Amino acid sequence: MEDWKDRLTRLFKGKRLTLFLILGLIGIALILLSEFWPASKPKQSDQSTVTAADMERDLLKLISNVEGVGKAEVMITLATGVENVYATEQRVNQNVLSDSTNGVLGRTENKNDTQDTVIVVRDSSGAEAPILIKQIEPKVQGVAVICEGADSPYVKSSIVEMVTTIYDISSNRVCVIKKNS
């Protein structure tokens, strides 16, 4: 018992206690000050939005590298835009009403109510945002390519094969025409 009291008195008399108190106060002050600093938003690098212009630019780069194409222009039409799929909560209410007289079952009525609500999160600044589960990229409807080398069957088939492979569309949705010189 005496050993414990001696250690306690040495701790209070030494500089260790003041050091612990100062470090503790600094830690508490940093925690309190962190409430006033704006929270950094996470980077959303994997959530990119692809536009038709971006797709046209990328396709033009590829087509221009095909031998014999020459100068080219590209136009892409989209069947759909970017579709965002958000997290939802689904509530289902099911009511069953049965009518019976003298133990004989008369009629039964089933009523189902389904309600979907988007799940929303609130950040430290109080702003609300829905939770994005996935982003469905736009579907390509058709591609038109105008190039100087389109009169060559090799160039034409190379472009059609490239476009159908990249965008997973049928060849009748790709048009390759010779450009005026």
Q: Which residues of the chain have pLDDT under 70?
A: 1-2, 4-5, 7-19, 37-49, 102-106
Q: 43-87 pLDDT, tens per residue?
A: 444 445 678 888 899 999 999 999 999 999 999 999 888 888 888
Q: Characterize the bridge pairing of strands 140-147 and 174-178.
A: parallel
Say what the pLDDT of residue 102 is.
Answer: 67
Q: Which residues of 57-86 are buried (b: 16+ CB within 10 A; e: fewer)?
A: eebbeebeebeebeebebebebeeeeeeee
